[in-house]
């Protein structure tokens, strides 16, 4: 029997690197993505749209035999994207998609995996890839910050709800700061529909955001690689006693310090 890694958002970036790393460590890897592109390191690749509970339930049929044969299951809830823009400019569908991708879908997937693991007596670890912006909100990124913050709370609540399970071993969060992936490219694409309905009062902020997300824009200091984050995911998967949270990049450590020890009135000045 081998360990099984189920990794969402596997077609690129952190998910793609995590697939390769887990494969090198001897795991059987199932890559999950909305539009499968052929993940070479994966043993199997399945299509999954996290905004659809129906698709997540249907996935149970494909995963049942895989989980039955596994020594242990690692679910990595990594899929995500940034819906930026002033909150007053976002449509209902933008809000729904942002939360479905980061909160509703991942928790539903965790619940389905836990149900299957309990049926087969297979241990399960859940690892969610969150963000420093779940700790330190920023202007013009409120929907993404809110969804990632809710992702944290939902996964920790899932642990409290299910900690009596004989299969659920742990639930951990991995919180990176800036990572060199295609995140900015996707965020810029998601921003385009907002620009057409943006209020004039935010125009300068939108121009600054477009410049920061544009191809060729410089990366912030201490930007991590996708491989750096994948290594922390693996650490959470293989730790004897997994931590509730794993921080990546200096920005996340600073954000954790600010939100834990600095008065909120001062936080608003620092994070402005």
At residue 201, φ and ψ (nearest 5 deg) are -65, -25
Q: Can you give the pLDDT at residue 23? A: 98
What confidence score (pLDDT) does residue 270 get? 85
pLDDT value, residue 32: 97
Per-residue pLDDT tens over the stretch 136-189: 999 999 999 999 999 999 999 999 999 899 999 999 999 999 999 999 999 999
Element (H, E) at 152: helix 142-162
Are 61 and 112 spatial neighbours (Cβ–Cβ below 8 Å)? no
Q: What is the pLDDT at residue 92?
A: 97
Q: What is the rounded CA–CA span in Å between residue 252 and residue 265?
A: 20
Per-residue confidence (pLDDT) for residue 1, from 0 to 100: 81
The shares of helix, strand and coil residues in the chain, as percent rounded to the nearest 5, are: 55, 15, 30
Report pTM.
0.96
Write out residues in the chain with pLDDT < 50, as ranges. Answer: none
Please name which of 74, 81, 79, 80 lies closest in space to residue 30, comparing C-alpha atoms. Answer: 74
């Amino acid at each position: 029997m081998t360990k099984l890694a189920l990794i969402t958002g596997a077609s690129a970036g952190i998910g793609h690197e995590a697939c390769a790393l887990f494969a090198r460590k001897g795991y059987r890897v199932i890559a999950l993505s909305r539009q499968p592109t052929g993940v070479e390191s994966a043993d199997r690749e399945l299509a999954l749209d996290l905004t659809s509970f129906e698709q997540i339930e249907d996935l149970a049929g494909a995963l049942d035999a895989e989980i039955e044969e596994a020594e242990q299951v690692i679910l990595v809830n990594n899929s995500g994207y940034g819906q930026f823009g002033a909150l007053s400019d976002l449509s209902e569908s933008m809000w729904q998609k942002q939360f479905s991708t980061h909160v509703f879908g991942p928790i539903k997937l965790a619940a389905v995996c836990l149900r299957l693991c309990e049926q087969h007596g297979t241990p399960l670890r859940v690892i969610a890839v969150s963000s420093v912006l779940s700790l330190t909100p920023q202007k013009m990124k409120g929907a993404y910050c809110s969804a990632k913050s809710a992702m944290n709370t939902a996964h920790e609540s899932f642990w409290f709800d299910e900690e009596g399970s004989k299969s659920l071993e742990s639930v951990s969060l991995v919180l990176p700061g800036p990572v060199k992936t295609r995140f900015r490219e996707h965020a810029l694409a998601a921003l385009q529909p907002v620009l057409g309905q943006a209020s004039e009062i935010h125009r300068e902020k939108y121009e600054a955001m477009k410049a920061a997300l544009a191809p060729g824009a410089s990366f912030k200091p201490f930007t991590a690689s996708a491989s750096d984050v994948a290594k922390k995911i693996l650490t959470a998967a293989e730790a004897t006693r997994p931590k509730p949270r794993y921080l990546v990049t200096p920005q996340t450590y600073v954000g954790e310090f600010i939100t834990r020890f600095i008065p909120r009135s001062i936080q608003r000045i620092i994070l402005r």
